[in-house]
Amino acid sequence: MGLRLTKNLYDGFIAEGTVLVSFTRGDDRDCKAVDHALTELTRRLPDVPIGVVNVDVDRDLAVQHRIRSLPSVVLYIDGQQKGLLAGRVSSDRLEHWVCERLDPPRLPTTL
């Protein structure tokens, strides 16, 4: 679904452009649902790369970025955090959330 991010890759991944980072846990049902929504989002917004942090492996990244609940999706534009969405979310809601935060805002593919 996305690039697996580690401590060594994280800062470089978020540094330029618009990217999403998903903080997830492999055995969680809500995390799997958001993973599915992000997979669908890659078809709708192919120009927005997605990185994935498995908190079971890289817990320090979740602590460092103040992730308090799972799943969480963070939007970065040129290294600056522009939003955080926590909890189970549909692909439509996720797309709308991303599109309204882009500069300039973009209409989602689903209205």
pLDDT of amino acid 83: 95
Strand ranges inside 1-111, DSSP E: 3-4, 18-24, 50-54, 72-77, 80-86
pLDDT of 103 > 80? The answer is no
- Residues 61 and 48: their CA atoms lie apart, in Å, by 21
Using the predicted structure, report yes or no on whether residue 101 has a pLDDT greater than 70.
yes
pTM: 0.92
Q: Is the pLDDT of residue 15 over 70?
A: yes
Residue 19 has pLDDT above 80, yes or no: yes
- Mean pLDDT (the chain) is 93
pLDDT of residue 16: 95
Residue of higher predicted confidence among 46 and 105: 46
Cis peptide before 104 (omega within 30 of 0): yes
